[in-house]
């Protein structure tokens, strides 16, 4: 297996890559199928070195063909292989029929799937369906998915877990829950969107050893972030630098009873490298915000009038953590946006934006699906069902860089055809205050000179990587937003 590439394609684009490899570069389609089988065998031997018996569940089409190739190769390597098919061999065609014939020719046997069958062995392989699924599973295929999920053995899915839409990541009725998925030729959108995180397990990739030129002139709509995103956002500091050279960030929020959010965002901004960090907060919140972090300059702001002088000193704003929706909050919100500074808008800053007619600013918006739904006058479920389309719509509607948070956060900007994806992070980060920390990091990068897109991409990457580092120390469950602080500093200083 090779390292995951960054480009992520629609299913029809991956099929076009297949055709290019076959028609332009002269690689026979059956050769590609054999390479897929070889990659699958390499994957299973790498993840389960002690496994000696396999049950391979085959459907129809090329995904089934990959399964039959794997069966033949694994048997040749000494594995005990059982093949269960939901489609009689005589109904197969093309390369799938050839692969099934070669399996039988090598002495293999195939049994027809029955819903009462028990799928045993050290490993179960899902070779039911590939990228072409466009309707909910039913009948025998649905029963086969149920049987795979009921098996006590781990599951290896070939290309895409069966039942998962290869473009949206939505479950089409029901879907295989894999332990490992090995995908071929190109990463598919549906492996990173929708409900995919709960079905993929570990993702492996094989390009089937096709020439790199196969990928030329095929524009991927989604691209994974990697550490290179940090370079543009984190310029090397001059030896003679002073704190004023690294930005003056103002954080506005912390209404009565909500001081924790702005406190977390402010400390994250310090750890992200902002030179000066000021907090404009409700007088009731000042003691809690200032406590334990003397580097923060905390200002009681009883009315929007007291905000004017602070805005004049600032090079950027984080607006919204713990802000609330009171008259006090609305007045500070309006004054902050009227300043026209680069602004990260989060939490109640977004909820107030959804209630207003303001559009088009030098903003980074950081909504979770619920906030995104309010901004789009939609429902959270609809946003989650179309995350890629939703983040693009938000960027164009508000003329802003948008981070749609969640498992696989997405970053879009107006007029930018490629959406960025962060596939780092972990379920332990689904806890209070994590979004406030992210807003603070992005704000810090923005005032240090990063563009809105650079700050959003690098901020999301640093935040997710810090969350993974925190989880690695003691496990995912119980990770607190404050646990990320030392790791934010580490990731904000890439070697």
Task: Look at residue 182 and give its three-state secondary structure.
Answer: strand
User: What's the pTM?
Assistant: 0.95
Name the E strands within 68-225: 80-85, 110-112, 123-127, 155-158, 180-184, 187-188, 202-206, 222-224
The whole-number pLDDT of residue 325 equals: 97
CB 348 within 8 A of CB 323: yes
- Domains of the chain by start residue, with CATH: 7-221 (3.40.50.10260), 229-491 (3.40.1190.20)
What letters, b where the CB count within 10 A reaches 16 and e where it falls short, cover 114-149?
eeeeebebbbbbbbbbbbebeeebeebbbbbbebbb
- How do residues 141-162 score in pLDDT, each as one tens digit? 999 999 999 999 999 999 999 9
Contacts of 237 (CB under 8 A, 6+ apart): 245, 246
The whole-number pLDDT of residue 116 equals: 85
Contacts of 107 (CB under 8 A, 6+ apart): 75
Work out the number of other CB atoms within 10 angstroms of the CB of residue 216: 8
Task: Look at residue 171 and give its three-state secondary structure.
Answer: strand
Name the E strands within 282-408: 297-300, 316-319, 343-345, 363-365, 401-404
CA dist., res. 71 & res. 109, Å (int)? 10
- How do residues 444-487 score in pLDDT, each as one tens digit? 999 999 999 999 999 999 999 999 999 999 999 999 999 999 99
The whole-number pLDDT of residue 42 equals: 98
**Cα atoms found within 13 Å of the Cα of residue 191, Cβ hemisphere only:** 34
The partner residues of 395 in beta bridges, in order of sequence, read: none
CA dist., res. 412 & res. 346, Å (int)? 16
Task: Look at residue 365 and give its three-state secondary structure.
Answer: strand
Q: To which H or E segment does residue 53 belong?
A: strand 53-58
Q: Where are the alpha helices (DSSP H) in 106-235?
A: 139-150, 229-233
Q: Which two tokens stand for residue 322?
A: 């713990």
The whole-number pLDDT of residue 237 equals: 78
> Residues in the chain with pLDDT < 70?
1, 245
The whole-number pLDDT of residue 1 equals: 61
In the DSSP assignment, the letter for residue 189 is: G
The sign of the CA dihedral 460, 466, 472, 476 is negative
CB 403 within 8 A of CB 457: no
CB 362 within 8 A of CB 413: no
């Amino acid at each position: 297996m090779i390292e995951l590439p960054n480009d992520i394609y629609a299913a029809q684009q991956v099929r076009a890559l297949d055709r290019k490899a076959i028609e332009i570069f002269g690689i026979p389609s059956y050769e590609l199928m054999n390479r897929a089988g070889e990659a699958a065998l390499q994957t299973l031997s790498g993840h389960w070195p002690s496994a000696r018996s396999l049950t391979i569940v085959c459907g129809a089409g090329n995904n089934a063909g990959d399964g039959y190739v794997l069966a033949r190769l694994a048997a040749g390597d000494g594995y005990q292989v059982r093949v269960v098919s939901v489609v009689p061999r005589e109904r197969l065609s093309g390369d799938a029929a050839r692969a099934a014939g070669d399996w039988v020719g090598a002495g293999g046997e195939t049994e027809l799937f029955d819903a009462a069958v028990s799928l045993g062995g050290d490993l179960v392989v899902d070779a039911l369906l590939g990228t072409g699924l466009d309707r909910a599973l039913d009948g025998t295929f649905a029963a086969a998915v149920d049987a795979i999920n009921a098996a006590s053995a781990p599951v290896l899915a070939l290309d895409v877990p069966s039942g998962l839409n290869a473009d949206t990541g939505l479950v089409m009725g029901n879907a295989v829950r894999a332990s490992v998925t090995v995908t071929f030729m190109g990463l598919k959108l549906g492996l990173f969107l929708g409900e995919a995180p709960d079905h993929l397990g570990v993702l492996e990739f094989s390009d089937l050893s096709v020439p790199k030129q196969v990928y030329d002139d095929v524009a991927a709509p989604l691209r994974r972030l990697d550490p290179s995103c940090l370079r543009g956002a984190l310029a090397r500091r001059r030896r003679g630098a002073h704190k004023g050279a690294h930005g003056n960030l103002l954080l506005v929020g912390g209404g009565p009873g909500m001081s924790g959010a702005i406190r977390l965002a402010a400390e994250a901004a310090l750890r992200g490298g902002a030179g000066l960090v000021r907090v404009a907060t409700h007088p009731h919140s000042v003691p809690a915000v200032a406590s334990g972090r003397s580097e923060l300059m905390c200002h009681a702001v009883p009315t929007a009038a007291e905000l004017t002088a602070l805005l004049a000193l600032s090079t950027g704003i984080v607006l919204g953590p713990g802000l609330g929706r009171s008259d006090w909050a609305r007045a500070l919100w309006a004054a902050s946006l009227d300043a026209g500074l680069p602004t990260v808008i989060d939490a109640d800053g977004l909820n107030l934006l959804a209630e207003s007619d303001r559009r088009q600013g030098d903003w980074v918006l950081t909504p979770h699906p619920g906030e995104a739904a309010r901004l789009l006058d939609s429902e959270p479920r609809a946003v989650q069902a179309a995350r890629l389309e939703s983040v693009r719509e938000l960027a164009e509607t508000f003329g802003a860089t948008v981070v749609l948070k969640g498992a696989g956060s997405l970053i879009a900007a107006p007029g930018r055809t490629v959406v960025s994806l962060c596939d780092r992070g972990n379920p332990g980060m689904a806890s209070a205050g994590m979004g406030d920390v992210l807003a603070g990091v992005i704000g810090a990068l923005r005032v240090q000179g990063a563009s809105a897109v650079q700050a959003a991409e690098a901020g999301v990457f640093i935040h997710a990587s810090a969350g993974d580092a925190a989880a690695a120390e003691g496990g995912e469950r119980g990770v607190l937003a404050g646990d990320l602080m030392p790791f934010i500093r580490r990731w904000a200083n890439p070697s």
